[in-house]
């Protein structure tokens, strides 16, 4: 029996009916990974995974996700399993503890098969900044999978695993989900614990997940999200069961279209898919209204002050002393810091540390950092206003389908604009997801659904109803034949 492209729910059923053992499932997963050409994984967890599968088959593991192999983005600390964050500086880092998200998923019975490739420290939109090589898009091996969670997205898209975790600081789940033709969700800031996630920009970073459909995402989110005392920004409000409202009728609900996002400037196929998706929702009884968000155009510049500022501060911990890479032949302590960091970090990480250092330095702080924090509030206020009138906001997830490897690496700003549609949700902290909704140039594109604070249930409901009325999420790449 081929396990490729099976959904989490389908695999769960096969395990429950004992038509498949977890050991067979996990063994087959490793066989598929070893013959994959996408470079989706940095580290495999074969021995421990097979042991846990055996335990499940012997009835020693239970839980909602019991016996199901999943992948973890290599940004989550995993106890006794190498965690590189896509960087040379953490090439040999073996955390002594699990991130809360990893722990939650493990307690739900899932089996971690390995750590997925990613842009270095999650800084990138194409996976090309990884020290461990670029991930290739299963829909076309010369194309990028998006980023930064490109390895997780590619692994699910290719059918290697039915689910993988990701993190989203400016679009790092939604953009790769779109470019790889799968479903991905980033919950409200603070809904999932950041404890054990290697920090990039702490006020924006949020854990989430990829799966083959919205229903599986809901099931995973039930376990990924939790209140955690170890994260001071963790939300303590009661958590819903995200499957409870997934079948709600959408009749009479309202979707907002952002007036300031100029869809007409995008590729014709991206525009057409967007119109088609509107029609699908209209057929479900949803009404469309235009919402004005006058400050949303400030999102990308605001983000490229706030995120580098936080990054420069967070990444100061990498000093070659306590863990991570240490350079050889150093004279004194300062040389050790400078040489270890200069040899350990890649170019994009250095660029962002330098921008952050600049905007936080004396004399520039008010002009850049404070100004960006003020515009961040203006963007947040736009969302608060918009959600007074609509249930969900809808836009494309990214401006185009997957681009060719190497085509945007020379110009950082062109790469930054990949996240044009996704960044504002991180600045405001609202939940958002991407679902497949068509093709442009023969490659998948995504539809973004943004929800109000703590309304993950609602966007999952909208996504699930869409997927019951369409088949875009059922399309799979044909590796070997696609170019």
Pattern 149-188, other proteins, x by CB under 8 A: ----------------------------------------
Report the distance separating Cα 211 and Cα 208, nearest Å.
10
Q: Could you tell me which residues are beta bridge partners of residue 432?
A: 186, 450
Using CB under 8 A as the binding rule, whether residue 304 contacts other proteins is answered as yes
> Quick one: how far is CA 197 from the chain centroid?
13
Nearer to other proteins, 66 or 430 (CB): 430
Using CB under 8 A as the binding rule, whether residue 205 contacts other proteins is answered as no
Using CB under 8 A as the binding rule, whether residue 307 contacts other proteins is answered as no
User: From the CB of residue 302, how many other CB atoms can be counted at a distance below 10 Å?
Assistant: 24
Nearer to other proteins, 63 or 301 (CB): 301
Report the distance separating Cα 232 and Cα 310, nearest Å.
16
Using CB under 8 A as the binding rule, whether residue 320 contacts other proteins is answered as yes
Report the distance separating Cα 185 and Cα 178, nearest Å.
11
Nearer to other proteins, 292 or 374 (CB): 374
Nearer to other proteins, 226 or 401 (CB): 226
Pattern 406-435, other proteins, x by CB under 8 A: ------xx--x----------xxx------
Helix pair 46-57, 22-34: axis angle to 10 deg: 160
Nearer to other proteins, 316 or 389 (CB): 316
Q: Name the token pair of 282.
A: 């209209």
Residues 75-94 within binding reach of other proteins (CB under 8 A)? 93-94
Burial degree of 76 (CB within 10 A; 0-12, 13-18, 19+): buried
Question: What are the backbone dihedrals phi and psi of residue 256, each rounded to the nearest 5 degrees, phi first?
Answer: -95, 140
Nearer to other proteins, 233 or 287 (CB): 233
Rounded to a whole number of angstroms, the minimum distance from the CB of residue 394 to other proteins is: 21
Given 325, 403, 421, 466, the residue binding other proteins (CB under 8 A): 325
Q: For tokens 């790449």, what's the residue?
A: 477
Rounded to a whole number of angstroms, the minimum distance from the CB of residue 232 to other proteins is: 4
Report the distance separating Cα 452 and Cα 68, nearest Å.
31
Q: Residues for the chain: how many in total? A: 483
Return the closest-CA partner of residue 276 out of 447, 468, 89. 447
Residues 350-389 within binding reach of other proteins (CB under 8 A)? 350-351, 353-359, 361, 367-368, 370-378, 380
Return the active site residues: 73, 148, 172
Given 47, 334, 471, 481, the residue binding other proteins (CB under 8 A): 334
Using CB under 8 A as the binding rule, whether residue 239 contacts other proteins is answered as no
Q: Could you tell me which residues are beta bridge partners of residue 450?
A: 393, 432
∠ CA 330-332-334, rounded to 5°? 95
**Close Cβ partners of 233 (under 8 Å, ≥ 6 residues apart):** 189, 190, 194, 202, 203
Residues that bind other proteins (CB under 8 A): 93-96, 189-190, 203, 229, 232-233, 235-236, 298, 300-302, 304-305, 312, 316, 319-326, 330-339, 341-342, 345, 347, 350-351, 353-359, 361, 367-368, 370-378, 380, 412-413, 416, 427-429
């Amino acid at each position: 029996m081929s396990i490729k492209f099976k959904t989490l729910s389908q695999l769960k059923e096969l395990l429950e009916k004992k038509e498949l053992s977890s050991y067979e499932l996990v063994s087959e997963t490793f066989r598929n990974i070893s013959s994959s050409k996408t470079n989706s994984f940095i580290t495999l967890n074969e021995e421990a995974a097979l042991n846990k599968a055996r335990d499940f088959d012997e009835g020693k593991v239970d839980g909602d996700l019991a016996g199901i192999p999943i992948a973890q983005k290599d940004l989550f600390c995993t106890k006794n399993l190498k965690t590189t964050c896509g960087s040379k500086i953490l090439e040999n880092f073996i955390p002594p503890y699990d991130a809360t998200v990893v722990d939650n998923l493990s307690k739900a019975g899932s089996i971690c098969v390995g750590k997925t490739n990613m842009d270095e420290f999650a800084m990138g939109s194409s996976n090309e900044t990884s020290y461990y090589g670029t991930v290739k898009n299963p829909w076309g091996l010369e194309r990028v999978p998006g980023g930064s969670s490109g390895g997780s997205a590619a692994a699910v898209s290719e059918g290697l695993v039915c689910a993988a975790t990701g993190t989203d600081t400016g679009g790092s789940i939604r953009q790769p989900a779109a470019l790889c033709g799968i479903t991905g969700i980033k919950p409200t800031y603070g809904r999932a614990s950041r404890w054990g996630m290697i920090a990039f920009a702490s006020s924006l970073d949020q854990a989430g997940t990829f799966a083959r459909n919205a229903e599986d995402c809901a099931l995973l989110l039930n376990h990924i999200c939790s209140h955690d005392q170890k994260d001071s920004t963790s939300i303590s409000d009661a958590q819903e069961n995200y499957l409870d409202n997934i079948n709600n009728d959408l009749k009479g609900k309202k979707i907002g279209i952002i007036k300031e996002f100029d869809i007409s400037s995008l590729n014709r196929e991206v525009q057409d898919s967007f119109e088609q998706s509107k029609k699908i929702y209209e057929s479900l009884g949803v009404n469309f209204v235009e919402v004005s968000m006058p400050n949303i155009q400030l999102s990308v510049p605001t983000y490229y002050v706030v995120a580098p500022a936080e990054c420069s501060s967070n990444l100061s911990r990498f000093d070659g002393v306590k863990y991570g890479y240490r350079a050889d032949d150093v004279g004194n302590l300062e040389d050790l810091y400078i040489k270890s960091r200069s040899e350990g970090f890649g170019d994009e990480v250095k660029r962002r540390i330098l921008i952050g250092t600049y905007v936080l330095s004396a004399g520039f702080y008010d002009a850049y950092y404070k100004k960006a924090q003020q515009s961040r509030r203006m963007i947040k206020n736009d969302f608060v206003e918009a959600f007074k009138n609509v249930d969900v906001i809808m836009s494309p997830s990214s401006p185009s389908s997957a681009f060719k490897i190497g085509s945007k690496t020379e110009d950082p700003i062109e790469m930054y604009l990949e996240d044009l549609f996704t960044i504002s949700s991180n600045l405001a902290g609202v939940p958002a997801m991407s679902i497949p909704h068509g093709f442009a140039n023969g490659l998948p594109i995504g539809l973004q659904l943004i929800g109000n604070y703590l309304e993950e249930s609602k966007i999952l409901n909208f996504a699930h109803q869409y997927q019951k009325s369409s088949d875009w999420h059922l399309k799979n790449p044909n590796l070997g034949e696609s170019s």
